Amino acid sequence: MVLKFILLGLIDIAPMSGYDIVKAFDYAALFYWHATHTQVYRTLKDLEKEGWIRGEVVRQTDNPNKKVFHITDAGKEALAGWVREEPELPGFKHPFLIKFTYAALLGDEELIDQLDLYEGKLKEKLTLLTSEEKRGFIMMARGHREKFLWEMTNENGIMYYQNEIAWVRKVKDALMGGEA
């Protein structure tokens, strides 16, 4: 259900093709949500059926034709209604922590290797959130208030990844110090 509103919000910013939407997931404040290409395109079809977006085929000479989606008035109303709903706590799935729970099966060296791999992935995400491309997306905001909200969402993500990195270092220090 949330994916519908993510797509509506992106299309509300500017008309986009499915390809543009998939790319926007990397640069928008959407690091909190993941969707496959199939999920995006299936959801776009559903939104069209509901009358919340309309697709327009754009003919291109050097590339295949593409379908660009525009939000409708009904889509804008649905998006605004969803934003007004009572906030809910996030669902929390953390595959690495589940593995970590059972990591007593590993020796210290192997566990530290796993932590190093995890830390590397965290640093990659942190780099993306602090990149010039990310700043460029935030500059697409349609006004000061929207820019502020996007910056705060991005800051929340930065703080999350910084906290995860600090936790990994704490665990590695404890393992290397013989505390575990």
pLDDT in tens, 4-59: 999 999 999 999 999 999 888 766 755 678 888 899 999 999 999 999 999 999 99
Q: How confident is the model at residue 178 (pLDDT cuts 50, 70, 90)?
A: confident
Predicted confidence (pLDDT) per residue in 57-74, tens digit: 999 999 999 999 999 999
Structure tokens at 154: 């991005």
Higher local confidence (pLDDT), 132 or 5: 5
How many alpha carbons lie under 13 Å from residue 70 in its C-beta half-sphere?
7
| CB-CB contact of 95 with 25 (8 Å) | no
pLDDT above 60 for 170: yes
What is d(CA 18, CA 100) in angstroms, rounded to the nearest whole number? 37
Dihedrals phi, psi of 67, to nearest 5 degrees? -105, 120
pLDDT tens digits along 139-149:
888 999 999 99
SS3 content of the chain, % helix, strand, coil (to 5): 65, 10, 25
